[in-house]
């Protein structure tokens, strides 16, 4: 399936405007932990189901539902070969349109390599540059900005506006306590061991740096 199809699986949601994209990292040490990505389109499932019956929508090719599940399976298989990645698990709830992938990583470097591997699998036509999404140095964990030609930015601006209500949430859990965060929208948990940041997709489309965050740990 083409990258375009995957990028534009997301715009399908804009008619109902609601989906959740959740990125979670639970650190067990400074470097190792569990990474989890969840796409929850449950709110839009009725319309999605109808839209997916079409071959194309607004000029974009649409995948079959089984193709989405197959893609998760392919990604899981590819990750099995990635260095430092283990305990890969994925789930597809085709009734509720909830898709999830979870794996253990032994270092942030290997996590970045694994995420680039997934991006490379999906960008056969339009190669994406190698990017470090996360960094850990000098007691700080950083969530970096994806390149400006990110998937979301590739979509047409008037289509992006139809994502009203859709959100991206990042949750990072640490063994150490959090001293401070650089992103003013980020919230530190009561126990000071976790940070949550929720942003609207429509805003991210024009300003991907909204997910940037530097978390200073004690």
Partner 1 sequence: MKSKFIYLICLLSVLQTGFSLDLKKCIPNDATYVMSINFGNLNSKSNGLDYLKYIKSLINENSYDYYYGDGYEQACQLVSIKDILEKPSEFGIDLNSQAYIYQKNSQLYSGKTYLFKLSNESVFETKMTTNECSKSKAFITKQTDNGKIIMSEKYVIGINKGVAFIFVNDNNSFELEEEGDGEMENSDYYYYGYRKRYNENTYKDSIYEAEVAAYRVKTDSLLYIKANQSGTEEYSQMVEAYIEIDPEIIERAKLRLKERQEEELRKKIEKLTGDFQTILAEKSLSIASDRNFSRIDKDNNDVIIFFNNPMTYLGKILNPFSRRSNRYNKNEPRPAATTIYTSNISAAYVLNFDKGLVRFKTLNSFGDEAFKMLKKAYDKKPDPNLLKYVEGTNLMAYLSSTFNTKEVVNFYEKCYFEILGNAYFSKYDINIPPTIELFWAMLDKELLFGTCTDRKLFAINGFIETKISYKSYEYDEDFQSKEVTKEKIVKTPRMVLVLGIDNKENALKLFRIISKFSAFTKVKDNVILASASRDMQMNLYIVMTEDAFILTNDAVLALEKQTGYPKDKQIQKEEQKFILSHNMTMRIFTDKLFKAINENYPSESGEMKRISDIATNLGDFIFYDNEMSDNLYITEGTLSLTNSSENSLGILLKLFNRL
Chain residues in the site for partner 1 (CB under 8 A): 14, 17, 20, 22, 24, 40, 42-43, 45-47, 49, 95-96, 98, 156-159, 161-162, 164, 171, 173, 189-191, 193-196
Q: Which is nearer to partner 1, 2 or 192 (CB)?
A: 192
Helix (H, G, I), strand (E, B) or coil at 17: coil
Residue 185 phi/psi, 5-degree rounding, is: -85, -10
Structure tokens, 13: 């949601």
Q: Which is nearer to partner 1, 119 or 166 (CB)?
A: 166
CB of 35 vs partner 1, minimal distance in Å: 14
The H or E element containing residue 22 is strand 20-27
Burial-class residue 106 by CB neighbours within 10 Å (0-12, 13-18, 19+): middle
Q: Which is nearer to partner 1, 28 or 106 (CB)?
A: 28
CB of 121 vs partner 1, minimal distance in Å: 27
CB of 89 vs partner 1, minimal distance in Å: 16
Q: Calculate ∠ Cα 115-109-182, nearest 5°.
A: 85
CB 31 within 8 A of CB 104: no
CB of 206 vs partner 1, minimal distance in Å: 13
Q: Which is nearer to partner 1, 2 or 104 (CB)?
A: 104
Q: Which is nearer to partner 1, 57 or 136 (CB)?
A: 57
CB of 84 vs partner 1, minimal distance in Å: 25
Q: Which residues of 133-163 are buried (b: 16+ CB within 10 A; e: fewer)?
A: bbebeeeebbbeebeeebbbbebeeebbebb
């Amino acid at each position: 399936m083409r990258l375009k199809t995957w990028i534009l699986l997301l715009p399908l949601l804009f008619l109902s405007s609601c989906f959740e994209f959740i990125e979670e990292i639970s650190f067990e040490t400074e470097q190792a932990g569990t990474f989890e990505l969840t796409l929850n389109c449950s709110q839009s499932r009725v319309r999605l189901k109808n839209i997916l019956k079409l071959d194309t929508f607004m000029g974009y090719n649409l995948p079959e539902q089984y193709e989405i599940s197959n893609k998760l399976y392919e990604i899981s298989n590819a990750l099995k070969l990635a260095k430092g990645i283990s305990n890969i698990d994925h789930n597809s709830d085709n009734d509720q349109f909830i898709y999830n992938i979870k794996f253990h990583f032994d270092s942030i470097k290997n996590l970045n390599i694994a995420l680039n591997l997934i991006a490379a699998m999906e960008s056969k036509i339009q190669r994406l540059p190698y990017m470090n999404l996360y960094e850990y140095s000098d007691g700080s964990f950083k969530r970096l900005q994806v390149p400006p030609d990110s998937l979301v930015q590739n979509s047409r601006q008037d289509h992006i506006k139809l994502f009203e209500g859709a959100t991206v949430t990042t949750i990072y859990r640490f063994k150490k306590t959090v001293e401070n965060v650089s992103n003013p929208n980020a919230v530190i948990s009561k126990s000071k061991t976790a940070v949550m940041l929720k942003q609207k997709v429509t805003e991210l489309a024009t300003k991907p740096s909204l997910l940037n965050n530097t978390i200073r740990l004690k």
